[in-house]
Structure 1
Amino acid sequence: MQRTPDDASQVAVRRRRPDLLPFLLIAPVVIFIIGLALVPAGFTVIQSFFTVDELDPPARFSGLNNFVQLFHDPAVTSSVGNTVLYVVIGVTLSTVLAVPMAVLLQSAFRGRSFVIAILILPWALPGVVEGILWTGIFDSNGGLISSLASTLHLSTGTGVLLGQDRLLTIALIELVQVWQITPLSVLLILAALQLIPGELYEAAAIDGAGPWRSFRSVTLPLARPGIAVAMVQAVIATFNVFDQPFVLNGAASTAASLTMQTYYISFQNLNFGQGYALSLLIAVATCVVSVVVVRVVYRKVEL
């Protein structure tokens, strides 16, 4: 049966007609991202250049005045140092712990799925819940650490762990966050390790490489993409740490983070203009550090 010219033209039109189904399927996600992320982000950028004070309306354009006042605020400058310590401790410790844990989980063994399920629990818990749990551990009156130190005759069991010494407080609070973010780092690195062909390890063994040499020459180089992604998520989490220091240390300035200062400036001082400006600075700093981490750590893997 031969096609007529009209049939051929109809087929050509159908072929030229774009398939709208893929666009319809992703449309809800695109709308969700625009409404929940891009619109608030644009609003934050614009409002950061205005004086937005609910007690002194209306909003007035102030240029860079909000940013200048932030850099002259002792509470903000102090929290910058605290946040830097959070990032350095959190990213370093979570990565150092995640790599060997992922290597141990790389090989199949009995109960591996159960171990992974247990591993995910700290990451699945909200930060507020973790802060409350660890409050009992750090409690100076009957807490686990105080009781253990008293049992071992290392102290009287009444020492205050949080809120006194700045470095100790930051280290203990970041320990709680590392407990939360390390499981995700483990899973990200483990996913990268699963892509490494077993033939590479067999070739390394034939060449006389031991476990440590195989780890340095095969595992670590090929796992760098996963390590880079894990470090980026740790950078984002530590830059935006709020729940743990707020629950464990309250409103004390000893270990206040930048996101805590954003909360204080916006909702206690009702200076939303400076709050927007500080949020913008945190977002820019997070992006810059994340890009640096990717450029330094990430390497394209070609097998």
Structure 2
Amino acid sequence: MLFLSPALLGFLVFFAWPAVRGLYLSFTDYNLLSEPTWVGLENYAAIVDDPVFWNSMGVTLQYVAINIVVQTLVALLLAVLLHRFTRSMLIRGVVMLPYLIANVVVALVWYWLADYNLGLINSGLDAIGITRIGFFGDEQYAMTTIALVNVWRHLGYTTLLIFAGLQAIPHDVYEAAAVDGAGEWRVFRSITLPLLRPVLAFVLVVTVVGSFQIFDTIAVTTQGGPVDSTNAITYYIYDRAFARFDFGYASALSVILMFILAVIALVQMRAFRAGQSDLER
């Protein structure tokens, strides 16, 4: 308990108390400059009729879908390639490198690279005769661009999680499949994927929850624009709280997001039977 106490203290101060305080503020009208005024369910009722909230949820779901699908599939492919063809620590370090760079730095670098007038990407497109693209300035491409930037940044971390899961699969299982004459695709579909299920469940829970909390990339590139096309739910919460000083309403939005993420995590854990492994059968 003595060794656990620093972590427990940090949890109580930085997680538990703010969560309880935020839940209370969600039932109040609070602007930081005066005492909270109890308003009951008024904030939640207003959210139901708030078109910006529903737009922000749609934008967030779009980001999550692109980010999770691309990141998981590419990370799975990279992990399998690392597991089959190399055990080099140098290559693992290179794969992991983008994750070690701060999100703000990554966002600024890609924002410069994809600039419509001066960016290297658009200069390259122009050189080969392709029309320049407003990656961050066009509402058609902005959220997709942000999602792919974050895929690049988090890909190494997800890859190494899956790679660790691959290393935990007993080699004799693959040897038995080879003796039975199973091909590469059959081995991957019937052995690798089922035995990776608990790891993939963990990866999906972590990445989905993290994707719903996208903020810093949006804050330093598009600020929710153009035309609210990147106004994700976390950026909308920030805007209501720190730009409009409507902390009661922002707290209600945060509580709703917390329950959404809790339900999604629970559904994922049960659907993937994350606590069970086929190796135990």
Which residue is equivalent to 1:85? Answer: 62
Question: What's the offset of the Cα at 1:251?
Answer: 4.3
**1:213-232 equivalence runs, <5 A:** 213-232=186-205
1:297 correspondence with 2:263: no
Is 1:131 paired with 2:104? Answer: no
Alpha carbons 1:184, 1:230 under 8 Å: kept: no
Distance in 2 (CA, whole Å) between partners of 1:107 and 1:153 is 39
Cα deviation, residue 219, structure 1: 0.7
Q: Deviation string for 1:123-163 (max 9, x for gaps)?
A: 122211111010112100121221111111012x4x42223
Structure 1 residue aligned with 2:76, among 92, 99, 108?
99
| AA at the equivalent of 1:164 | D
Preserved CA contact (<8 Å) 2:29 2:39: yes
Residue identity (%):
32
For residues 186-243 of structure 1, give each alpha carbon's deviation from its aligned partner in whole angstroms, at most 9, with x where no partner exists.
1211111111000000000000011111111111100111111111111111100011
**Superposed, which structure 2 residues align to 1:217-296 within 5 Å?**
217-252=190-225, 253-296=228-271
Figure out how many residues of one structure are paired with residues of the other and give that number.
276
Distance in 2 separating the partners of 1:226 and 1:251: 33
CA contact (8 A) 2:240 2:246 kept: yes
User: Where does 1:71-220 land on structure 2 (aligned, <5 Å)?
Assistant: 71-107=48-84, 109=86, 112-155=88-131, 157=132, 159-166=133-140, 168-220=141-193
Contact 1:53 1:273 (8 Å CA) reproduced: yes
More displaced, 145-154 or 242-251? 242-251
2:12 aligned with 1:25: no
Structure 1 stretches of 5 or more lacking a match? 1-22
CA contact (8 A) 1:185 1:231 kept: no
2:37 maps to 60
Tell me which residue corresponds to 1:42. 20
Q: Distance in 1 between matches of 2:187 and 2:174?
A: 7
Give the secondary-structure state (helix, strand or coil) at the position aligned to 2:105: helix
| Partners of 1:97 and 1:216 in 2: CA distance | 16
Cα distance in 1 between the residues matched to 2:60 and 2:71: 16
TM (norm. structure 2) is 0.93
Letter in 1 for 2:154: I
> Which protein has the larger Cα radius of gyration, Structure 1 or Structure 2?
1
Q: Deviations over 1:270-300 (max 9, x none)?
A: 0100111111111111111122222223452
Question: In terms of mean alpha carbon deviation, does 223-232 or 101-110 score higher?
Answer: 101-110
Structure 1: distance between partners of 2:124 and 2:198 = 41
Whether contact under 8 Å (2:111, 2:136) holds in the other structure is no
Structure 1 window deviating more from structure 2 (61-70 vs 260-269): it is 61-70
How has the CA–CA distance of structure 1 residues 268 and 61 changed in structure 2, closer, same or farther, with 3 Å as cutoff? same
Contact 2:224–2:230 at 8 Å: present in 1 too?
Answer: no
Q: Which amino acid aligns with 2:156?
A: P
SS in 2 for 1:241: coil
Contact 1:163 1:169 survives alignment (8 Å) = yes
Q: 2: CA distance between counterparts of 1:108 and 1:251?
A: 42
How many Å apart are 1:67 and its aligned residue? Answer: 1.5
Shift of 1:108: 6.4
Question: Residues of 2 paired with 1:172 and 1:108: CA distance?
Answer: 31
